[in-house]
Chains A and B, each alone.
Chain A
Amino acid sequence: MSRSVIDSTPAATDSSVSAPETRIPLPPRRRRRRSPLAYWLILPAVLLELLVHLIPMVLGVWIAFISLNQLTLTNWVNAPFVGLQNFMNGLDPNSSIGQAFFATIGRTLLYTVLVVGFSWTLGMAAAVFLNSKFRGRALLRTFFLVPYALPAYVGTIAWAFMFNNRDGAINQVLVDTMGLFDGDRPFWLLGDNAFGAMVIVNVWQLWPFAFLMLMAALQNVPNDVYEAAALDGASLWQQFRTITLPMVQPANGVLLLVMSLWTFNQFNVPFVLFGATSPESATLISPLIYQNSFGSWNFGLGGAMSVLLLLVLLVASAFYIRMVLPKGKNND
Chain B
Amino acid sequence: MIETRNFRVLRNIVLTLLTLWVAIPLYVVVSTSVKPLADVSGVFEWIPRSFTLAPYIDIWSTVPLAEYFKNSLIVAVSATFFSVIVAVLAAYSISRLAFKGKRAFSLIVLSTQMFPGIMFLLPLFLIYTQIRNVTGIQLQGSYLGLIITFMTFTLPFAIWMLTGYFASIPIELEEAAMIDGTGRMGALIRVVLPVAKPGIIAVAVYSFIAAWGEVLFASVLSNESTKTLSLGLKDYASQTDVFWNQLMAASVVVSLPVLIGFILVQKHLVAGLAAGSVK
Asked if B93 and A38 sit within 8 Å, CB to CB, the answer is yes
Asked if B278 and A217 sit within 8 Å, CB to CB, the answer is yes
Query: Does B56 interact with chain A (Cβ within 8 Å)?
Result: no
Cα distance, A202 to B131, chains bound together (Å): 37
Asked if A271 and B234 sit within 8 Å, CB to CB, the answer is yes
In whole Å, how far is B29's beta carbon from the nearest beta carbon of chain A? 5
Q: Which residues of A contact B121 (CB under 8 A)?
A: 290, 293
Q: A15-B179, A142-B263 are in contact. List 10 more A-B contacts (CB 8 A).
A: A2-B194, A56-B123, A147-B22, A151-B229, A157-B234, A167-B244, A265-B117, A294-B220, A299-B122, A331-B103
Cα distance, A306 to B109, chains bound together (Å): 20
B residues sitting closer than 8 Å to A (CB atoms) are 1-4, 6-7, 10-11, 14-15, 18-19, 21-26, 28-29, 32, 40-46, 85-87, 89-90, 92-94, 96-100, 102-103, 105-112, 114-124, 126-127, 129-130, 148-149, 151-153, 155, 159-160, 171-173, 175-177, 179-180, 184, 190-191, 194-195, 209, 212-213, 215-216, 219-220, 229-230, 233-234, 237-238, 244, 247-248, 251, 254-255, 258-259, 262-263, 266, 270, 273-274, 277-278
Cα distance, A267 to B105, chains bound together (Å): 28
Asked if A275 and B110 sit within 8 Å, CB to CB, the answer is no
Asked if B111 and A271 sit within 8 Å, CB to CB, the answer is no
> What sequence of 0s and 1s flags, for each residue 1-35 of chain A, a beta carbon within 8 Å of any chain B beta carbon?
11001101101110100000000000011011111
In whole Å, how far is B100's beta carbon from the nearest beta carbon of chain A? 7
In whole Å, how far is A138's beta carbon from the nearest beta carbon of chain B? 10
In whole Å, how far is B99's beta carbon from the nearest beta carbon of chain A? 4
Cα distance, A142 to B261, chains bound together (Å): 12
Query: Does A44 interact with chain B (Cβ within 8 Å)?
Result: yes
Cα distance, A152 to B184, chains bound together (Å): 40
Cα distance, A112 to B152, chains bound together (Å): 26
Asked if B129 and A74 sit within 8 Å, CB to CB, the answer is yes
Cα distance, A159 to B115, chains bound together (Å): 27
Closest 10 CB pairs of A and B: A216-B274, A265-B116, A56-B123, A151-B213, A41-B93, A38-B99, A149-B262, A38-B97, A52-B152, A317-B114
Asked if B190 and A5 sit within 8 Å, CB to CB, the answer is yes
Cα distance, A306 to B237, chains bound together (Å): 29
Task: State which of B25, B26, B32, B93 has its C-beta within 8 Å of the C-beta of A42.
Answer: B93
Task: State which of B98, B153, B190 has its C-beta within 8 Å of the C-beta of A34.
Answer: B98
Cα distance, A230 to B14, chains bound together (Å): 22
In whole Å, how far is B4's beta carbon from the nearest beta carbon of chain A? 7
Asked if B11 and A132 sit within 8 Å, CB to CB, the answer is yes
Asked if A5 and B176 sit within 8 Å, CB to CB, the answer is yes
Task: State which of A42, A73, A134, A168 has its C-beta within 8 Å of the C-beta of B89.
Answer: A42
Q: Which residues of B contact A324 (CB under 8 A)?
A: 110, 160
Task: State which of B96, B119, B177 has its C-beta within 8 Å of the C-beta of A309.
Answer: B119
Q: Which residues of A contact B4 (CB under 8 A)?
A: 230, 236
From A162, which residue of chain B is reached at the shortest CB distance?
A: B28
Asked if A204 and B28 sit within 8 Å, CB to CB, the answer is no
Query: Does A261 interact with chain B (Cβ within 8 Å)?
Result: yes
Asked if B119 and A42 sit within 8 Å, CB to CB, the answer is no
Q: Which residues of A contact B26 (CB under 8 A)?
A: 146, 158
